[in-house]
Amino acid sequence: MDHSSLQELLTPVTARTDPTAYDVRVAVIPTGQRPEPDDWHDAQWVTVGGLPYASLLVGPGSAVQVSRGPYRTWVEITAPPEKPVIASPTFHVT
């Protein structure tokens, strides 16, 4: 991902049941850090090839600005009584 790009950032979610019926939030955080309350952003679900992805618009003009460096997305799913938080593998912004 280029730091000057405005694009949909998709994070795959693996679950035993379909998570798309639940609310989802995403935080985009530099690697090595954990999300703080203000880092979370409401996201949407997108299904690609039958697999669920948490989708968030990232880049200039969006709520989430990124600079160069390694990042990780964190996905929070509100599925009462559970509220799992899932970290993605690291990706790089150039």
What domains, with CATH codes, occur in the chain? 7-93 (2.60.40)
- Contact 83/77 with Cβ under 8 angstroms? yes
Using CA atoms, how far apart are residues 94 and 87, in angstroms rounded to an integer? 21
pLDDT of amino acid 16: 87
pLDDT of amino acid 76: 98
- Distant-in-sequence, close-in-space partners of 17: CB < 8 Å, separation ≥ 6: none
Average pLDDT over residues 74-89: 96
Using CA atoms, how far apart are residues 59 and 57, in angstroms rounded to an integer? 7
Model pLDDT for residues 18-76, shown as the tens digit of each residue: 999 999 999 999 999 999 999 999 999 999 999 999 999 999 999 999 999 999 999 99
Record the pTM: 0.93
Res 8 pLDDT > 90: yes
Using CA atoms, how far apart are residues 76 and 25, in angstroms rounded to an integer? 5
